[in-house]
Copies of this chain bind each other. A is one copy, B any other.
């Protein structure tokens, strides 16, 4: 069986878990703490990062970008219907712009800092260099800006990148779910984003992830797994 090496509170790992579940591809999950730099793992992915998809013949596909495009290419042709990047070439470009926005910009400007400061620094033995108070404050300011953008997209469109769900929705939901685990999302001002996330939360792919607990991490807030939040 295909394996996915992942960390349960890594948003990029979550985006690939969602993609696999939406595409109905069964995988065996293997937990990895990438910051431990296990030799066997680094041999698979010299970048030392999750997620890594391991094919049945042992070949690794490394990183959310390579894996998502690899999954999208199954069958050898660009899929105009269903799949991770539905629609024509322009619509797929819009989905990819937003994948980059959520996995890149939102992650860099908010999620990564808050996960590092609030969670990873607790899980890593002898961790040093946790973000200081000002860095955390800046990340929260950035997050408010990102939530307004998510709200704007949710108001304008059925799904974030257009009329059909795409990998952009899965990437956004992955980021938001990790931030929500930390209690960092203020849902009171985000009517449209909230409706979009409620729809995401009702999907079996995300429900499975939200029902998990993460060993060593504090419990999430009560609304975290509740579709009626």
Chain A positions near chain B (C-beta within 8 angstroms): 46-47, 59, 61-63, 65-67, 69-70, 73-74, 76-78, 89-90, 92-94, 96-97, 99-101, 105, 149
A93 contact from B70, B76, B93, B94, Cβ within 8 A: B70
Contact of A100 among B65, B78, B96, B101 (CB under 8 A): B65
CB-CB under 8 A for A73 and B99, given A78-B78, A105-B47, A149-B46: no
Is there contact, CB below 8 Å, between A89 and B73?
yes
Between-chain CB contacts (< 8 Å), 5 pairs: A62-B97, A65-B99, A67-B93, A69-B69, A70-B92
Q: Report the bound CA distance from A100 to B46 in whole Å.
A: 12
A63 CA / B46 CA spacing, docked (Å): 26
Cα-based distance from A97 to B44 in the complex (angstroms):
12
